[in-house]
Structure 1
Amino acid sequence: MNIRHYFAASVGKTAQWVLKTFFKGGSSYPGKIALELDPKILDHLAKDYEVIVVTGTNGKTLTTALIVKILQQKFDNVLTNPTGANMVQGIVSTFLSAKTKKGQKKFAVLEIDEASLAKVTTYIKPKLFVFTNIFRDQMDRYGEIYTTYQMILDGAAHAPEALILANGDSPIFNSKATPNPRIYYGFDHLPDEEQMAHPNTDGVLCPQCQHILHYQMITYANLGKYYCPHCDFKRPELDYRLTHLGEMTNVSSEFTIGTDDYKIEVGGLYNVYNALTAAAVGEHYGLTADQIRHGLGYDEKIFGRQEVIQIGDKKCTLVLVKNPVGLNQVIDTMNLSPEDFSLVCLLNANYADGIDISWIWDGTYENLTQREIPQVLTGGDRRQDMTFRLQVAGIPDEKITELDSLNQVIQKIAELPTENVYILATYTAVLQLRQKLTEQGILKGGN
């Protein structure tokens, strides 16, 4: 490391210490400072690591956390970016914070934003790329799903020797040739049954002949065992297979991968995909089924991913929502709950959320009417839009209360008629709510 690298790293680490010690935060700022002093600092900070990159629309954060927990069953030095700081400056900050044991293999499991991937892989060369899925998300930033996938491919192309572990149930991941070798994971738990995706589903055109894809099994959205009846395009052979789905509740899921049984302490089919992905990474690095099982079995809720917060006597489950596919999976998971619940919907439209909120009209809020939800609170910068969407979905006006501030939301939550509350919030709304809860002493230190 030359003088410039050493100076940039030292200044970045000092800024990190100051921010954590005196201000209890600052996840990305130290990285920003280090990058300004040395634009190539990341190349040198990451050079001794086995880098695993997790990218895609939904599931990055939980998949990354599960991979880390699994690898920690065998390896001591596993670095990650747990704050969700998944753009370049956040990745630099992650490496600045590293504390490792000398002489042992070092892993860095990094969640990286799709649009930032090519910038990051300009400086670091991953050994493994993990592709979760691609759905329509933040159209003003990413564009259509094919544009998003090209961003990811451009990032992977900077490390052509790296292996790609991709979701084989997603047609888009099989749509283009890559210089990178590829292996696949997916669901193989049901007998074949001829079917078509829902008419409002993106990404179901054959990339070879543009006919509509058929399916022999669908999990959700455009994921499943697809094939084109007009050409030879079909789902690739799976290297890692989910062979059985067991009990599914709103708070846990049981399943079998190959011949090994597993359980995770979060609900939802979409989270089973995250667990399958992480287990595939574990198998790739030689971990045993018992080690993978222990890694998946931890019950530590991730920021905004079915995170449970106690507000007064209310048990509040906070869930990040940001696009129609993810929202629909959350609603389906909520409807598995055996207990009554009230609902809070917080909608912002800042850059990090996606300025275009038209996605809420593609979400199946109508499925909320399957339950007798006694009261719904709406808040956030676009609360009027949220209220109107719920009204159109069929939730009676008298059950909806629109609130101007998050302080009012928190106060009203304590007055809701049910013990259980679901809070669905966009990214910046999650941050703002957690900040208010910290200020009020409900959350300690932002946790």
Structure 2
Amino acid sequence: MSLRSQFAVTVGKSSQWFLRTFLKGGSSLPGKIALKIDPKILQHLAKDYEVVVVTGTNGKTLTTALTVNILKQEVENVVTNPTGANMEQGIVSTFLQAKGKKGERKFAVLEIDEASLSKVTKYIQPKLFLFTNIFRDQMDRYGEIYTTYKLIVDGAKNAPDATILCNGDAPIFNSVATINPRKYYGFNHQKDGEFIAHHNTDGILCPKCQHILHYKMITYSNLGKYYCPNCDFKRPELDYKLTELTDMTNHSAHFIIDHEAYGIEVGGMYNVYNALAATAVAKHYGVSPEKIRAGLAYDEKVFGRQEVIQIDDKKCTLVLVKNPVGLNQVIDMIGLAPQPLSLVSLLNANYADGIDVSWIWDGNHEAFAQMDIPQVIVGGDRHTDMALRMKVAGIAEDKLLEIEDIPSVIDQIKKLPTKNVYILATYTAVLQLRKELANRHYIKGGM
């Protein structure tokens, strides 16, 4: 290690200790400081690790957590970034706090932001890339879905020998050739039929001939067993298959993958995909079904991913939402929950959320009007936009309460008429809410 790298590590670790000891936080700043001193610091920090990278629009955080839980059944030392600090400085901070013994096998399972991937892979050489999906998300940051896909493919090119393990049900992952070898996971749980995706769905044109894709089975959005009726473009053969969805509720799911039964303690089809992705990684590394089951069953809710928080007598389920496809999956999941229930929707438009909030109009808020929801609270910086969206969706004005600031939202949650409450929030709204809940001692820490 060069003197410059040694100095960067020392300063980075010292700042990490200071921030944790005195300010109770700071997940990315130590990495930012270390990078200023040595821009190539990742090259040194990651050199002894088997690196697995998880990237894509939705599902990165939970897929990463599930993968880590499974691999920990097999390997003692697994480094990860659980707070979602998934840009370059966050990855550096993750390695700065890593501990391990000399000579042991060390894994790093890293959630990495799509736009940051190529910056990170300049200095580390992952052995495996996991691509979850590509949906329209924060247009001001990522652009169209094909722009986002190019970002992650370019990032993977920096490690050409690494395998890309991708969602075979997503047509975009089969749209262009890659330098990297590819494997696919997906759903094969229904008999073939004949379907076309909803008209308001992105990514459903054949990349070869631009004809509208057809499906023999659709799970949600543009995911499923696709084919082009006008040319030979179709879903590739799957290496890892979910063949049966035996049970799904608002808080759990059970399924069969490659003849083995598994379960998770979160609800929704989108989370079954996350579990399938994590299982595919485990099978790629030869982890036994017993250990995969133990890892998936580990019931520790991840930051903002159906995280249950008790606020006095209210059982509040906090869910991060950030784009129309993810929102619609959350709405479908809430539809499985016992009713009546109350709803809170917190909308911010900071840089980390995406400043364009027009995506809320593509979410199926109309479904809420069909549920037994006696009270809806809308809050956050763009509460006015969300209030209008709810009214247009059919939520009666006498059921709708508009509150801007988070402390007042929490006060009102305590007065809601039902015990069960679902809180949907954009990223910075989740941070603000959790910070205030930590200040009031409803949870530990703000992250």
TM-score by length of 1: 0.99
Q: How does 1:246-265 map to 2 (within 5 A)?
A: 246-265=246-265
Query: In the alignment, which residue of structure 2 is the partner of 1:171?
Result: 171
Question: Which moves more between the two structures, 100-109 or 147-156?
Answer: 100-109
What letter is aligned with 1:395? I
Query: In the alignment, which residue of structure 2 is the partner of 1:8?
Result: 8
Q: How does 1:229-244 map to 2 (within 5 A)?
A: 229-244=229-244
Query: In the alignment, which residue of structure 2 is the partner of 1:298?
Result: 298
What letter is aligned with 2:153? L
Q: Which structure 2 segments of 5+ residues have no match? A: none
Looking at structure 1, the residues matched to 443 and 95 of structure 2 have their Cα atoms a distance apart, in angstroms, of 27
Q: How does 1:321-340 map to 2 (within 5 A)?
A: 321-340=321-340
**1:423 equivalenced with 2:437 (yes/no):** no
Query: In the alignment, which residue of structure 2 is the partner of 1:245?
Result: 245
What letter is aligned with 2:220? Y
The structural deviation recorded for 1:147 is: 0.4
- Indicate the SS of the match to 1:164: strand
Query: In the alignment, which residue of structure 2 is the partner of 1:53?
Result: 53
Query: In the alignment, which residue of structure 1 is the partner of 2:24?
Result: 24
What letter is aligned with 2:43? D
Looking at structure 1, the residues matched to 337 and 445 of structure 2 have their Cα atoms a distance apart, in angstroms, of 30
Query: In the alignment, which residue of structure 1 is the partner of 2:185?
Result: 185
The structural deviation recorded for 1:330 is: 0.2
Looking at structure 1, the residues matched to 136 and 101 of structure 2 have their Cα atoms a distance apart, in angstroms, of 41
Looking at structure 2, the residues matched to 441 and 77 of structure 1 have their Cα atoms a distance apart, in angstroms, of 32
Query: In the alignment, which residue of structure 2 is the partner of 1:42?
Result: 42
Query: In the alignment, which residue of structure 1 is the partner of 2:67?
Result: 67
The structural deviation recorded for 1:444 is: 2.0
Query: In the alignment, which residue of structure 2 is the partner of 1:282?
Result: 282
**1:105 equivalenced with 2:105 (yes/no):** yes
The structural deviation recorded for 1:23 is: 1.0
- Indicate the SS of the match to 2:229: coil
Looking at structure 2, the residues matched to 173 and 405 of structure 1 have their Cα atoms a distance apart, in angstroms, of 41
Query: In the alignment, which residue of structure 2 is the partner of 1:315?
Result: 315
The structural deviation recorded for 1:431 is: 0.2
- Indicate the SS of the match to 1:66: helix
Question: Which moves more between the two structures, 432-441 or 325-334?
Answer: 432-441
- Indicate the SS of the match to 2:27: coil
Looking at structure 2, the residues matched to 270 and 238 of structure 1 have their Cα atoms a distance apart, in angstroms, of 18
**1:443 equivalenced with 2:416 (yes/no):** no
Q: Which structure 1 segments of 5+ residues have no match? A: none
Question: In the TM superposition, what whole-angstrom CA distance separates every residue of 1:270-312 from its partner, at most 9, and x where no partner exists?
Answer: 0000000000111111111000000000110000000000111
Looking at structure 2, the residues matched to 179 and 4 of structure 1 have their Cα atoms a distance apart, in angstroms, of 34
- Indicate the SS of the match to 2:344: strand
What letter is aligned with 2:263? K
Q: Provide runs of 4+ in structure 1 moved above 3 Å.
A: none
Query: In the alignment, which residue of structure 2 is the partner of 1:134?
Result: 134
What letter is aligned with 1:212? I
Question: In the TM superposition, what whole-angstrom CA distance separates every residue of 1:24-47 from its partner, at most 9, and x where no partner exists?
Answer: 100000000000000000111001
Query: In the alignment, which residue of structure 1 is the partner of 2:147?
Result: 147
- Indicate the SS of the match to 1:51: strand
Q: How does 1:175-214 map to 2 (within 5 A)?
A: 175-214=175-214
Looking at structure 1, the residues matched to 404 and 84 of structure 2 have their Cα atoms a distance apart, in angstroms, of 28
- Indicate the SS of the match to 2:169: coil
RMSD (Å), alpha carbons: 0.6
The structural deviation recorded for 1:404 is: 2.5
Query: In the alignment, which residue of structure 2 is the partner of 1:160?
Result: 160
Looking at structure 2, the residues matched to 96 and 414 of structure 1 have their Cα atoms a distance apart, in angstroms, of 41
Looking at structure 1, the residues matched to 248 and 287 of structure 2 have their Cα atoms a distance apart, in angstroms, of 26
Question: Which moves more between the two structures, 216-225 or 95-104?
Answer: 95-104
CA contact under 8 A between 2:135 and 2:325: conserved in structure 1?
yes
What letter is aligned with 1:279? T
What letter is aligned with 2:17? W
Looking at structure 2, the residues matched to 271 and 101 of structure 1 have their Cα atoms a distance apart, in angstroms, of 34
The structural deviation recorded for 1:336 is: 0.2
TM-score by length of 2: 0.99
The structural deviation recorded for 1:369 is: 1.5
- Indicate the SS of the match to 1:428: helix
The structural deviation recorded for 1:252 is: 0.2
The structural deviation recorded for 1:442 is: 1.5
CA contact under 8 A between 2:435 and 2:445: conserved in structure 1?
no
**1:349 equivalenced with 2:360 (yes/no):** no
Question: In the TM superposition, what whole-angstrom CA distance separates every residue of 1:93-120 from its partner, at most 9, and x where no partner exists?
Answer: 0000001122111100000000000100
CA contact under 8 A between 2:431 and 2:446: conserved in structure 1?
no
Identical aligned residues as a percent: 70
Looking at structure 2, the residues matched to 77 and 103 of structure 1 have their Cα atoms a distance apart, in angstroms, of 11
Question: In the TM superposition, what whole-angstrom CA distance separates every residue of 1:336-382 from its partner, at most 9, and x where no partner exists?
Answer: 01232100000000000000000000000001122110000010000
- Indicate the SS of the match to 1:62: helix
Looking at structure 1, the residues matched to 169 and 446 of structure 2 have their Cα atoms a distance apart, in angstroms, of 37
Query: In the alignment, which residue of structure 1 is the partner of 2:120?
Result: 120
What letter is aligned with 1:202? D
- Indicate the SS of the match to 2:261: strand
- Indicate the SS of the match to 1:343: strand
What letter is aligned with 1:145? I
CA contact under 8 A between 2:339 and 2:373: conserved in structure 1?
no
Looking at structure 2, the residues matched to 250 and 292 of structure 1 have their Cα atoms a distance apart, in angstroms, of 22
**1:85 equivalenced with 2:101 (yes/no):** no
CA contact under 8 A between 2:339 and 2:371: conserved in structure 1?
no
Query: In the alignment, which residue of structure 2 is the partner of 1:381?
Result: 381
- Indicate the SS of the match to 2:416: coil
Looking at structure 1, the residues matched to 439 and 68 of structure 2 have their Cα atoms a distance apart, in angstroms, of 30
- Indicate the SS of the match to 1:315: strand
CA contact under 8 A between 2:347 and 2:426: conserved in structure 1?
yes
What letter is aligned with 1:272? V
Looking at structure 2, the residues matched to 441 and 70 of structure 1 have their Cα atoms a distance apart, in angstroms, of 31
The structural deviation recorded for 1:445 is: 2.4
The structural deviation recorded for 1:446 is: 2.6
Looking at structure 1, the residues matched to 340 and 157 of structure 2 have their Cα atoms a distance apart, in angstroms, of 49
What letter is aligned with 2:419? E
